[in-house]
Amino acid sequence: MAFFYWLIMKLGKDIKIIVRPTFKDGMTVGVQWQLEYDKSHIQLGKGFSFHCCHMYQGKLLIKNVEMFMEPIFNIEPLRLRTMALAVSLAEKIITFLRPAENTRKQAMTFLLLALLLLAAAAFYFTRLRF
């Protein structure tokens, strides 16, 4: 369980890891997980993997941590930073777009942010992968 505590501390305080067994047959447990941001409902990632677990005096030992960590490591650092930036921009846009007297400035700012986000997405999806 110390591994999950370390993972939660590294991912941030708004991340929750909930483990539910989906198949009970001996020592095999299937785990389905989803990574979401708590404040705005933007899905960041999804994973599905199987792990071999053993119970020893109430402690859970995960033997195949690579299968658990693989979907997280597939999210590249640039992609993680881009997603974090997109979520923070979405929060700022939501708080910024309140009824006010200066709607033209708000519309121009929103358009600029949308174009920047579109350019970042186009850059991410068009680069070569090896």
Position 75 scores a pLDDT of 58
In this predicted model, what pLDDT tens digit does every residue of 5-25 receive, in sequence order?
Answer: 676 666 666 555 555 555 555
User: pTM of this prediction?
Assistant: 0.25
Q: Tell me the pLDDT band of 117, cut-offs 50, 70 and 90.
A: confident
Q: What is the mean pLDDT of residues 36-63?
A: 49
**CA-closest candidate to residue 68, choices 81, 43, 49, 40:** 49
Q: Bridge partners of 54?
A: 61
Q: Is 68 buried (19+), middle (13-18) or exposed (0-12) by CB count in 10 A?
A: buried
Which spans in 1-130 are helix H?
Answer: 2-11, 65-74, 77-96, 103-126
